[in-house]
Amino acid sequence: MKFSFRWYGVDDKVKLEYIKQIPQMQSIVTAVYDVPVGEVWSNESISKLKATVEAAGLGFDVIESVPVHEDIKLGKDTRDKYIANYKENIRRLGKAGIKCICYNFMPVFDWTRTQLDKELEDGSTALVYYPEQLAAMDPLTGELALPGWDSSYTKESMKVVFDEYAKVDKEQLWSNLEYFLKEIIPVAEESGVVMAIHPDDPPFDIFGLPRIITNEENLDRFLKLVDSPANGLTLCTGSLGCVASNNIYNMIDKYSKMGRIHFMHVRNVKWLENNGFEESAHYSDCGSLDMVKIMEILYKNGFDGYIRPDHGRMIWGETGRPGYGLYDRALGVSYLTGILETLKKLGNK
């Protein structure tokens, strides 16, 4: 498996030279961030990003993400224009050497947390999801600025898009996703790129908006929409694993054996009541997920895709983008590589 690290470009407080110093780190996960959703990324921007990453001695292999325009998810008449742009982005990224593109199909909001700086018992701060906090939020009236949410929406435009989604149930969203996949997967195949959908985070409806990439049954359905090796998964342990009803170990075993996991996001969460959760340190004893078991399944099944430590706490006084500090993620990947080294040595006896 190829270890990678999320990096948000030249304005990221986490510098590439720091990431390079993490043992076993091979690849950077990044994107072009200065182009509006739905537009074509310039070859110049892609080439500049590639040159910057490779100058630091790291691989330029994974893009996270090429966002899907809301008109595609809504199935509007304008979607073909945005799908054409999406296909061109796949072609350009493939020519630049990108092997894997991560994306999601979550309506309006990307990954959702209700607090960015919850202080844990050890004094670190973490991202958390408390249902009672979400119940007090109203995206149509409040000033919301949580990570993963598109800050370009005004109150007026947010109301418009919510009104549009009132006409889209889960079956319609499935239909719109199928339409999108049937258009882009052949282009990905031709470009030598695999597409890896990220599960909904958290994996249940929020604010009345439908979410469909949520559990094993739905992942099975997704993979059958276009049965191609290029149509695969970003299997995020913290997204799917934040609810106890999802057997994350069975899913990792099943889909890695099928060769349909192209990208692993590995992190731990602590389950709370009513589908609430707190993000924790990666270590098994700190959360509700068994990281050793997760890595053992991947190793046993010969997983050779990309893997990255996902969200981390803020520790040792670090400040910056919530969930994406350097220190805790570096500890996390060191823990994961330590597990893998142990598995390899035990497996060779």
Q: Retrieve residue 29's tokens.
A: 């996960």
Task: Report the range of poorest mean pLDDT among 34-48, 129-143, 144-158.
Answer: 144-158
Domain 2-347, CATH homologous superfamily name and number: Divalent-metal-dependent TIM barrel enzymes (3.20.20.150)
> Percent of the chain, pLDDT > 70?
96
Instruction: Dihedral sign for Cα 269, 272, 274, 277, please.
Output: negative
Q: What pLDDT sits at residue 192?
A: 98
pLDDT, tens digit, 9 for 90 and up, residues 20-76 = 999 999 999 999 998 999 999 999 999 999 999 999 999 999 999 899 999 999 999
Distance from the Cα of residue 269 to its chain's centroid: 15
Over residues 301-324, the mean pLDDT reads 95
**Catalytic residue positions, numbered:** 198, 236, 265, 310-311, 324
User: How far is it, in rounded angstroms, from Cα 148 to Cα 108?
Assistant: 10
115-119: strand order across its sheet: 115-119, 125-129, 277-279, 269-271
> Above pLDDT 90, what percent of the chain?
88
By the 10 Å C-beta count (0-12 exposed, 13-18 middle, 19+ buried), 51 is classed as exposed
pTM metric for this prediction:
0.95
- If DSSP codes are grouped into helix, strand and coil, which group holds residue 269? strand
- Cβ atoms of 324 and 14 closer than 8 Å: yes
Span 105-131, average pLDDT = 93
Q: What is the pLDDT of residue 137?
A: 85
- The single residue listed with the structure tokens 């844990």 is 120
Mean pLDDT of the chain: 94
Q: Taking a C-beta distance cutoff of 8 angstroms, is the pair 1, 100 a contact? A: no
Beta pairing, strands 277-279 & 261-266: unpaired
Higher pLDDT, 135 or 251: 251
Of 333, 322, 321, 310, the C-alpha closest to 6 is: 310
Distance CA(201)–CA(198), nearest Å, equals 8
Among candidate residues 233, 230, 234, the one with its CA nearest the CA of residue 183: 230
Q: Tell me: cis bond preceding 203? Omega within 30 of 0 counts.
A: no
- Mean pLDDT within 302-331: 95
SS3 4: strand
What pLDDT digit, counting tens, does each position of 184-236 carry? Answer: 999 999 999 999 999 999 999 999 999 999 999 999 999 999 999 999 999 99
Read off the pLDDT of each residue in 68-94 and give the average, rounded to a whole number.
97
Residue 148 has pLDDT above 90, yes or no: no
Phi and psi, residue 44, nearest 5°: -65, -45
Q: Please, which residues have CB within 8 angstroms of residue 61's CB and are 6 or more apart in sequence?
A: 2, 4, 27, 28, 97, 98, 99, 100, 306
How confident is the model at residue 153, as a pLDDT?
74
